[in-house]
Amino acid sequence: MREHEVELRVTSDFDLEKTFECGQCFRWNADENGVYTGVAQGRAARIRQERGSIFISGTINEIETTWHDYFDLKRDYKKIREQLSIDDFMLKATEYGEGIRLLRQDKWETLCSFILSQRNNIPRIKQIIDTLCAMYGDKIHSNGTEYYDFPPAKRIAALSEKDLEPIKSGYRAKYIIEAAKAIAGGNLNLDALSQSTQEHARRALKQLHGVGDKVADCVLLFGLNMLDAFPKDVWVNRAIATHYKNNLDPAVFSPYAGIAQQYIFHYIRNKPVHHG
DNA sequence: AAACAGGCCTAAA
DNA sequence: TTTAGGCCTGTT
């Protein structure tokens, strides 16, 4: 038995692989045919792309209530790419990254995930989050398989560092427990922060142990839907050093500095190496 | 084996 | 305000 699948027509600027592999999310994995499975918005889904269409398991209602928003479908990325093409480098980066979309992810999941991401590589981050969800997330039955939702903050808040030893997150365990407690205890309200200014939200996030500039900016961009946040990881810093003599003010990309960051990141990491 | 991995914290200038 | 060293764990 195969579950129902819904077709979603996409004319331009939607590349499933680029969107899932450009560093913003950790819970989507492709099989050998490029079919992605994962959990988001409390739902498990299979998603694949064939030329001009995306096929998502589930109902048409779920597309409208969940995935349309998750994939940020109403935004015109082609137009934004044009705005961001301020020089030759950005023109190349935005052309190369055509199809990247900013996912609108769960706020707590994003905060927790990017705390865990520090000083780690992507396969390990995925492994840690997988184990965390399997141990403490709600079970989701879908298409004959069991998946696990991301555990709510309230549940993580009740754990000890010992409880988190199996996920092997190392010294980051105490950081996510503290963050979870701040949320569960009402001292940190991510929904409210997403309605405040970027500066205010950034300051609030950085009050948490284990949240510095980079993690805070990732949460603003990927979780709080603040598209002008510009996370600077080692790759982006490398690009800025190489192409802008270490002198680039992200404000030149405003109000879409975060989207610019995604194109830069993706381009620097994946562009073909030129010989000779 | 020693360094590093999509940072952050603390101590010390 | 900037800089140096250490950090859990795993891989190369």
Mark the nucleotides of strand B covered by protein, meaning any atom under 7 Å from a CB.
Answer: 5-10
**pLDDT mean across residues, chain A:** 95
| Mean local confidence (pLDDT), A150-167 | 98
Spatial distance from the CA of A171 to the C1' of B11 (Å): 19
What is the predicted pLDDT for the residue at A174? 97
- Residue from A66, A11, A147, A109 nearest A56 by CA: A66
The mean per-residue pLDDT over the stretch A173-177 comes to 98
Q: State, as a whole number of angstroms, the distance between the CA of A65 and the C1' of B7.
A: 36
Instruction: Say how far A210 CA is from B11 C1', in Å.
Output: 17
pLDDT in tens, A38-57: 999 999 999 999 988 999 99
Q: Is the pLDDT of residue A77 over 90?
A: yes
In this prediction, residue A2 has a pLDDT band, given cuts at 50, 70 and 90, of low
pLDDT tens-digit map of A178-221:
999 999 999 999 999 999 999 999 999 999 999 999 999 999 99
CA/C1' separation A25–B3 (Å): 27
pLDDT given for residue A232 in this prediction: 96
pLDDT for residue A276: 33
- Give the integer Cα–Cα distance in Å for A15 and A19: 6
Q: What's the Å distance between residue A213 CA and nucleotide B11 C1'? A: 20
Q: For residue A275, what pLDDT band results from cuts at 50, 70 and 90?
A: very low
At a 7 A CB cut-off, the residues bordering strand C are A 119-120, 124, 165, 168-172
Q: What is the dihedral angle through the alpha carbons of A136, A137, A139, A144, rounded to the nearest 10 degrees?
A: -110
- Give, in Å, how far the C1' of C5 lies from the CA of A169: 21
**Which residues partner with A5 through β-bridges?**
A57
Which nucleotide across the nucleic acid strands is nearest to A171, CA versus C1'? C8
Question: Residue A11: pLDDT band by 50, 70, 90 thresholds?
Answer: confident
CB of A108 within 8 A of CB of A224?
A: no
Contact residues for strand B with beta carbon within 7 Å? A 22-24, 117-122, 171, 208-216, 218, 231, 233-235, 265
- The three-state (H, E, C) secondary structure of chain A, written as one string: CCCCEEEEECCCCCCHHHHHHCCCCCCEEECCCCCEEEEECCEEEEEEEECCEEEEECCHHHHHHHHHHHCCCCCCHHHHHHHHCCCHHHHHHHHHCCCCCCCCCCHHHHHHHHHHHCCCCHHHHHHHHHHHHHHHCCEEEECCEEEECCCCHHHHHCCCCCCCHHHCCHHHHHHHHHHHHHHHCCCCCHHHHHCCCHHHHHHHHHCCCCCCHHHHHHHHHHHCCCCCCCCCCHHHHHHHHHHHCCCCCHHHHCCCHHHHHHHHHHHHHHCCCCCC
Rounded to a whole number, what is the distance in angstroms from the first to the last CA of chain A?
Answer: 54
**Residue A36 burial by Cβ neighbours in a 10 Å radius (0-12, 13-18, 19+):** buried
